[in-house]
Amino acid sequence: MNSTFRILAGAALLSSATLTAAPAFADGEVNIYSYRQPYLIEPLLDAFTKETGIKTNVVFAAEGLGERIAAEGANSPADVLLTVDIGRLDGAKQLGISQPVVSEIVNANVPAEFRDPEGHWIGLTNRARVIYASKERVDQDSITYEELADPKWKGRLCTRSGQHVYTVGLVASMVAHHGAEETEKWLEGVRDNLARKPAGNDRAQVKAIFAGECDIALGNTYYMGLMQTNEKEPEQQTWADSVRILFPNTDDRGSHVNVAGVILTKNAPNQDNAVKLIEFLSSDEAQQIYAETNHEYPVKPGVAVSERVASWGEFKKDTLSLADIAKNRKTASELIDEVGFDDGPAS
Topology of domain 127-256+311-343, CATH = D-Maltodextrin-Binding Protein; domain 2 (3.40.190)
Domain boundaries, the chain: 12-126+258-306, 127-256+311-343
Q: CA–CA separation, 49 vs 18, rounded Å?
A: 12
Q: Do domains 12-126+258-306 and 127-256+311-343 have the same CATH topology?
A: yes
Q: CA–CA separation, 302 vs 159, rounded Å?
A: 33
CB-facing half-sphere around the CA of 126: CA atoms within 13 A? 26
Please report the pLDDT score of residue 346 as a whole number.
81
- Return the exposure string of 76-111: e unless at least 16 CB atoms fall within 10 Å of the residue's CB, then b: bbbbbbbbbbbbbbbbbbeeebbbebebeebeebbe
Topology of domain 12-126+258-306, CATH = D-Maltodextrin-Binding Protein; domain 2 (3.40.190)
Q: How far is CA 22 from CA 46, 52, 55, 276, in A?
A: 9, 10, 6, 16
Picking from 223, 214, 74, the residue whose alpha carbon sits closest to that of residue 148 is: 214
As annotated, the binding site includes 222-223
Q: CA–CA separation, 153 vs 157, rounded Å?
A: 7
- Render each residue's pLDDT in the chain as its tens digit; 347 residues: 433 343 333 334 443 333 333 333 346 999 999 999 888 899 999 999 999 999 999 999 988 999 999 999 999 999 999 998 898 999 999 999 999 999 999 999 999 989 999 999 999 999 999 999 999 999 999 999 999 999 999 999 999 999 999 999 999 999 999 999 999 999 999 999 999 999 999 999 999 999 999 999 999 999 999 999 998 999 999 999 999 999 999 999 999 999 999 999 999 999 999 999 999 999 999 999 999 988 999 999 999 999 999 999 999 999 998 888 999 999 999 999 999 999 999 85
Which residues lie closer than 8 Å to 298 by C-beta, 6 or more apart? Answer: 125, 126, 287, 288, 290, 291, 304, 305
Please report the pLDDT score of residue 27 as a whole number.
67
Please report the pLDDT score of residue 25 as a whole number.
37
Please report the pLDDT score of residue 14 as a whole number.
41
As annotated, the binding site for Fe cation includes 222-223
Helix (H, G, I), strand (E, B) or coil at 154: coil
Phi, psi dihedral angles at 268 (to 5 degrees): -50, 120
Please report the pLDDT score of residue 199 as a whole number.
96
DSSP string spanning 211-259? Answer: TTS-SEEEEEHHHHHHHHT-SSSHHHHHHHHTEEEE-TTTTTT-B-EEE
Which residues partner with 32 through β-bridges? 58, 80
Q: CA–CA separation, 151 vs 189, rounded Å?
A: 7
